[in-house]
Amino acid sequence: MLARRHQVALALTALLAAAAACQAEDHQRTEPGRPAPSAARGFTLVASGDVLPHTSVVDRARFDAGGVGYDFRPMLEGVKPFVSRADLALCHLAAVYGANGDYTGYPVIKAPPEIAEALAATGYDGCSTASPHSLDDGAAGVQRTLDVLDGAGVRHAGTARTEAEANSVTLLRAGPAKVAHLAYTYDTNGYLLPQGAPWTVNLVDENRILADAKAARKAGADVVVVSVHGGAGWQDAPDERRLALARTLTASRTDGRPDVDLVLGAGAHVPQAYEKVNGVWVVYGLGDQIAGETVNLQGVRDPRGSQSTVARFTFAPPARPGGRWEVRKAEFVPQMFDLDAGRVVDLGKALAQGAGVAGVRDRIRDVVLSRGAAKEGLVMGD
């Protein structure tokens, strides 16, 4: 009954969602170097991994702000040129914002809200917010986080303040196209969904995701992107649960057209493979873009927790009206978070500057290509 009510509500709000997307388009940020929309061209979509502000990350932002407030912008400066030039840039915020200076790191993460300003300044247009930490400060944390993101002009998907918001579709403008961003998490670290508000956090359910994807298409989405947080962590290879979900989501078709056009994985804490499944690109794990020093499941400090990739997919317009937008170029850029400097580092540029990171770059490349993505055209970008 709940699933039926959810699908009905999605259908009723589809028209409103499309109208909201058109209004949002009028307020779309224009970053330096970002081309103007054109009906004749395609678009580029950039996606990056977990923003996971452990205590050491928050302390660094305090230092970068001169001891007054928090400034996360310098951390992301290294990725800004890449992100800001994309038609659409998506991040994954794996935390909620705290209030009145009550900021804590792992295991209960309540981050300074200044992160939202940094994400906006870097060029991110939207973030997935469904993660195991979504309920670290209850419903109030969700409310506060989405309010702050709204204030910074960063769209969001995966958590909601109201049932109407949960049943709406997050539509974003990407050049000439409308992109729906859907987001889900496998769990909430044992926290129960708020009583009377089970819609607060989107949980992974294959049928629910596909119903949402179909509703997004009816709401006017040219491209449907699904972000998923979960699966076994600290594994270079995706687990069977993640593989099975990817097969199911990419196999679904309506009138011969995929219901899901791109799947983005988060939460593994390490970079994982990219793969084309049923003709649809899947990123099993982007890794942690920003995180403090972490330990793996064996309790050992693991440098892979500071490694990630940024994905860039260039979509070509359909050959006929109502046809499929297809990826004509797929790229990944290896990155790492320098724990000492508190900065995201583009490993390609670091190599050009003589930094000794070739081994890290090569390891990330080998993992990303481990499921045959090179044969499908995936290349390492710059």
Q: Tell me which of 65-74, 116-125, 275-284, 316-325 is least confident.
A: 316-325
pTM: 0.90
Topology of domain 2-23+47-380 in CATH is: Purple Acid Phosphatase; chain A, domain 2 (3.60.21)
CB contact set of 91 (below 8 Å; sequence gap of 6+): 47, 48, 51, 119, 124, 126, 127, 128, 289
CB contact set of 81 (below 8 Å; sequence gap of 6+): 33
- Nearest-angstrom CA–CA distance, 218 and 364: 38
pLDDT of residue 377: 98
Looking at per-residue confidence, does 145 or 23 come out higher? 145
Q: Can you list the alpha helix ranges (DSSP code H) found in 220-287?
A: 240-251
Peptide bond into 321 cis (omega under 30): no
Q: Is the pLDDT of residue 164 over 70?
A: yes
Q: Is the pLDDT of residue 4 over 90?
A: no
Distance between start and end Cα atoms, the chain: 49
pLDDT of residue 355: 65
**Across residues 140-151, what is the average pLDDT?**
98
Q: Tell me which of 65-79, 92-106, 354-368 is least confident.
A: 354-368
